């Protein structure tokens, strides 16, 4: 080993390596846990090698899912066919996973977050840091909160955000992709030998061969794309269901991007346009989601068959929900409370189509109003 | 007819309505001519109803292409199956079309532009205005010129640009799409009763049911997307040919968008990021082109088969060329002359892959260098 490498490693060594816990084990949770365990295995000076992953226990043909994961190193339920590192351990005990951890990586469905945070309150290290891999917003009638802010407020710990063009099955197969992690310096930062730094983040999540991590500081920008893209993916599904072709899909995506940026500027003044256009968490995630994800498929079926959204969701998703349908309603309610519906013709039209109050065919009507010609002085 | 409509129409009436000519009759040229003739037919107070389109004469099974277009109102060679307005007239005589025109709409392949401009020099109205629908850049070793600038310089007339997410066959079938037209106030502007205004542009190109026009002033921004997107579409084709999935495609598009914006800021200081991210001529056109156009297909075949670019082009395109291959070489030569290759890892990597000097598999290597982690002060 060369001197340069030794020096580089020692810079990140510490007396007590960070213990990392992953909260959640769906296909994305398991994929992220795989990445993390691969990295902790390669950097024992920086991280405790063993990574614990909290698994909501299920019975799989008479065996416990946690036993299967720990014995066969495969999440046969949510990520079948992908071998997991042997230093990744599944456990059904949330507090056993979370309490000793220095770094908590949250990766559960949005709707379970509040309950989990209630269970963790007062039971984790006060010095712990967190990364949220959740997509969504915590919308109530008059307020719109980032999920990382909810984690910070409930647990009183500092929290960053991971978001990007990240279809889990592709990353699990180690196809090249990128992500964005937004993490700012905590107010009570303890210095680079005792605290999580951007280097810690990069070392924990970056895989040179297949998962490229860009660390930025724009938490709101990185979060908004992941939340709003699902609504736009529904709209792209609508025009695909109507067979309008690739021009119309490109048009919907650019209109969506414009409304995302405007939403960020208006309600999260720190959010940067650059994050939404030029980072993985922005346009790249939007484009990837509009190429064929769950929300896209639901939108396509609604427009092609004329069936109500609830029926399509029930038929296509086997009891799961299309996040975009929930987000569209939340965003509508929020913008309505702010008296700001007119600035978001695409987001609002998607909601009205889902409610059955508009047909997908009338999407174009909503756009020419906002983009009229300016007069020149003679 | 209501009073409001009458008033609106009279505002744009003039003693001498504008005569419009279309130079070029490929699938895009014919599609744009169809749009224009539909609009001139509805606005006789503003435009001469009859529109002439210059057609490069060809023999189709013993009949002249111009005769077929004029008798059957269909361009059977380049836009078969689409009925054209009866007030659109095909003629093989370039000067007969261009000389009397007040508005010249250029829509020919890039490589024919110089020769056509030579023929038109001194033979057109000095008061004429032009719109370029061409995609590309006029690159020479040390300079990089917009094609609209080339038209302006050679003919000494004012020229705007039309560019957007515009796959011609979809628009010809009247599927909803959008476009961007960049047009600035000419130095010798003659006032709204005697000259082309943004309203003239909108009235000439906008079709409420299927072709939505946004008029802006950023000529460089609107032009650059259309030129550089083809290089990026090749790269998206590469990763598709390698079966890397939708995450990788999203990543390539966002890296491409970033390099487009940087290229604009560096070499066309007036170009706005907003045009490239939020107008149809920017991200929308890029996304649409990367969903399956000619350059995408060539890139995919190169990566999937390992065949040289020339061979794939010959096999797939039947003698035509993939514009991205030409543009990649031009951009490489230009950036090399400026000593600025390192700022454009994607554009440069595409060129090196096309030359056989890199393999498509090594695309990811070029990106992590430029995006490293920043240190925090303790």
Contacts for A67 with CB less than 8 Å, ≥ 6 apart? none
Cα separation, B242 vs A270, in Å, equals: 38
Q: Which among B166, B202, B378 is the nearest to A247, CB-wise?
A: B166
Contacts for A10 with CB less than 8 Å, ≥ 6 apart? A45
Closest residue on chain B to A200 (Cα): B373
Closest residue on chain A to B188 (Cα): A378
Summarised one tens digit per residue, pLDDT across range B245-280 is 999 999 999 999 999 999 999 999 999 999 999 999
Closest residue on chain B to A277 (Cα): B277
The answer to whether the annotation marks A29 as part of a ligand binding site is yes
The verdict on B98 and B199 lying in the same domain is yes
The verdict on A207 and A341 lying in the same domain is no
Summarised one tens digit per residue, pLDDT across range B37-65 is 999 999 999 999 999 999 999 999 999 99
CB contacts < 8 A (A, B): 201
Summarised one tens digit per residue, pLDDT across range B164-208 is 999 999 999 999 999 999 999 999 999 988 999 999 999 999 999
The verdict on B257 and B159 lying in the same domain is no
Assign B5 a pLDDT band (cuts: 50, 70, 90): very low
Residue A375 included in any domain: no
Summarised one tens digit per residue, pLDDT across range A249-293 is 999 999 999 999 999 999 999 999 999 999 999 999 999 999 988
Closest residue on chain A to B293 (Cα): A246
* Number of other residues whose CB lies within 10 A of the CB of residue A316: 15
The verdict on A336 and A271 lying in the same domain is yes
The answer to whether the Cβ–Cβ distance between A291 and B246 falls below 8 Å is: yes
Query: Helix H segments across B12-63?
Result: 27-42
The verdict on A299 and A271 lying in the same domain is yes
Q: Which among A176, A251, A375 is the nearest to B244, CB-wise?
A: A176
Last residue of a domain, one of B217, B243, B258: B217
> Residue B105 belongs to a domain with what CATH number?
3.40.50.720
Last residue of a domain, one of B201, B217, B233: B217
> What is the predicted pLDDT for the residue at B378?
63
The verdict on B174 and B76 lying in the same domain is yes
Name residues 337-366 of chain B within 8 A of A (Cβ).
Answer: 363-364
The answer to whether the annotation marks A168 as part of a ligand binding site is yes
Cα separation, A363 vs B177, in Å, equals: 11
> What is the predicted pLDDT for the residue at A123?
98
Summarised one tens digit per residue, pLDDT across range B329-358 is 999 999 999 999 999 999 999 999 999 999
Cα separation, B363 vs B349, in Å, equals: 7
The answer to whether the Cβ–Cβ distance between A282 and B257 falls below 8 Å is: no
Residue A145 has pLDDT above 50, yes or no: yes
> Residue B231 belongs to a domain with what CATH number?
1.10.1040.10
The answer to whether the Cβ–Cβ distance between B239 and A371 falls below 8 Å is: no
Q: Which among B199, B245, B253 is the nearest to A170, CB-wise?
A: B245
**Across residues A210-235, what is the average pLDDT?**
96
A77 in reach of chain B (CB within 8 A) = no
The β-bridge partners of A117 are none
A291 in reach of chain B (CB within 8 A) = yes
- Catalytic residue of the set A123, A187, A202, A229: A229
SS3 A22: strand
Encode burial over B128-158: b for 16+ CB neighbours within 10 A, e otherwise: bbbbbbbbbbbbeeeebebbbbbbbebbebb
Of the candidates B162, B116, B167, which has an alpha carbon nearest to the alpha carbon of residue B288? B167
Measure in Å the smallest separation between the Cα of B73 and chain A Cα atoms.
24
What ipTM is given for this predicted complex? 0.93
> What is the predicted pLDDT for the residue at B11?
65
Assign B228 a pLDDT band (cuts: 50, 70, 90): very high
Q: Average pLDDT of chain A?
A: 93
The verdict on B123 and B197 lying in the same domain is yes
The answer to whether the Cβ–Cβ distance between B283 and A364 falls below 8 Å is: no
Residue A9 has pLDDT above 70, yes or no: no
Between residues B8 and A64, the one the model is more confident about = A64
The verdict on B7 and B153 lying in the same domain is yes
- In chain B, the largest separation of any two C-alpha atoms, in whole Å, equals 82
> What is the predicted pLDDT for the residue at B376?
79
What value, to the nearest 5°, has the Cα angle with vertex B275 and ends B101 and B259?
Answer: 120
The verdict on A153 and A75 lying in the same domain is yes
Cα separation, B325 vs B328, in Å, equals: 5
> What is the predicted pLDDT for the residue at B266?
97
Active site residue B229: yes
Residue A378 included in any domain: no
Q: How big is chain A by its Cα radius of gyration, in Å? A: 22
Number of domains in chain B: 2
How many residues can be counted in chain A?
Answer: 378
Report chain A residues whose CB lies below 8 A from the CB of B279.
254
Domain encompassing residue B299: 224-370
Q: Which among B178, B189, B258 is the nearest to A278, CB-wise?
A: B258
Q: Which among A177, A245, A373 is the nearest to B248, CB-wise?
A: A177
The answer to whether the Cβ–Cβ distance between A291 and B250 falls below 8 Å is: yes
A235 in reach of chain B (CB within 8 A) = no
Last residue of a domain, one of A183, A217, A251: A217
The answer to whether the Cβ–Cβ distance between A198 and B254 falls below 8 Å is: no
B55, B22 Cβ separation under 8 angstroms = no
């Amino acid at each position: 080993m060369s001197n340069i490498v030794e020096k580089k490693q020692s810079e990140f060594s510490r007396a007590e390596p960070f213990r990392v816990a992953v909260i959640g084990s769906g296909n994305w949770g398991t994929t992220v846990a795989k990445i993390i365990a691969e990295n902790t295995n390669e950097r024992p000076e920086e991280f405790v090698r063993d990574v614990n992953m909290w698994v909501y226990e299920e019975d799989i043909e008479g065996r416990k899912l946690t036993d299967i994961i720990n014995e066969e190193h495969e999440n046969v339920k949510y990520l079948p066919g992908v071998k997991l590192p042997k230093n990744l351990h599944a456990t059904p005990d949330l507090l056993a996973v979370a309490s000793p951890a220095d770094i908590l990586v949250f990766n559960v469905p949005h709707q379970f977050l509040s309950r989990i945070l209630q269970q963790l309150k007062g039971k984790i290290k006060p010095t712990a840091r967190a990364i949220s891999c959740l997509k969504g917003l915590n919308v109530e009638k008059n307020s719109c909160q980032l999920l990382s802010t909810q984690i910070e407020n409930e647990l009183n710990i500092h929290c960053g955000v991971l978001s990007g063009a990240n279809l889990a099955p592709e990353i699990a197969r180690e196809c090249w992709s990128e992500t964005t992690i937004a993490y700012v310096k905590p107010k009570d930062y303890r210095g680079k030998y005792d605290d999580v730094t951007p280097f810690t983040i990069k070392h924990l999540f970056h895989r040179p061969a297949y998962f490229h991590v860009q660390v930025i500081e724009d938490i709101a920008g990185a979060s908004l794309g992941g939340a709003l893209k699902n609504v736009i993916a529904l709209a792209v599904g609508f025009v695909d269901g109507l067979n309008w072709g690739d021009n119309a899909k490109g048009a919907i995506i650019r209109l969506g991007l414009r409304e995302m940026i405007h939403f960020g500027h208006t309600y999260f003044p720190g959010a940067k346009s650059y994050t939404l256009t030029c980072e993985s968490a922005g346009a790249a995630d939007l484009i990837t989601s509009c190429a064929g994800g769950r929300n896209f498929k639901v939108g396509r079926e609604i427009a092609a068959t004329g069936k109500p959204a609830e029926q399509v969701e029930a038929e296509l998703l086997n009891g799961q929900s299309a996040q975009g349908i929930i987000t569209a309603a939340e965003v509508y309610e929020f913008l309505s409370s702010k008296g700001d519906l007119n600035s978001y013709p695409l987001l609002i039209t998607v909601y009205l189509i889902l409610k059955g109050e508009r047909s997908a065919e009338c999407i174009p009507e909503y756009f020419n109003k906002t983009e009229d010609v300016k007069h020149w002085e003679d």
